[in-house]
Amino acid sequence: MTGYAISQRQVTGRLEADTVLDYLVALERPKYKEIRMGGPVTDDQIRQFAGIVDEVSATIKAGRFVPNGLINGSCSWCGYKAMCPAHLEQNANY
């Protein structure tokens, strides 16, 4: 959510009023739900997000990052798979 809020700030030049996660519950008659965060993303949330991005980047560079998409199938819809070294390596073996 923090990453999306940061990207929207960059695109629009405005601070978000709230951050909302919209989702559907798979029932016989689907039900809409939302989770409201209650305001704009805080500086502390941005610092935490940046720390996670730095940690993931370091583990990728060190060759220790497990690409979950290869395991759980999410690579099938990822827009970056055409340039992802892990995805390209896996598919080169077929």
Nearest CA-CA partner of 87 in 69, 60, 65: 69
Tell me what pLDDT residue 87 has: 81
Tell me what pLDDT residue 78 has: 84
Model pLDDT for residues 6-41, shown as the tens digit of each residue: 999 999 999 999 999 999 998 999 999 999 999 999
What span, in angstroms and rounded, lies between the C-alpha atoms of 18 and 84?
Answer: 32
CB contact at 8 A, 3 and 19:
no
Model pLDDT for residues 45-62, shown as the tens digit of each residue: 999 999 999 998 998 899
71 pLDDT above the threshold of 60: yes
Interaxial angle between packed helices 2-12 and 43-61, expressed in degrees from 0 to 180 and rounded to the nearest 10: 110
Tell me what pLDDT residue 93 has: 64
Tell me what pLDDT residue 55 has: 93
Tell me what pLDDT residue 74 has: 80
3-state secondary structure of 88: helix
Tell me what pLDDT residue 94 has: 54
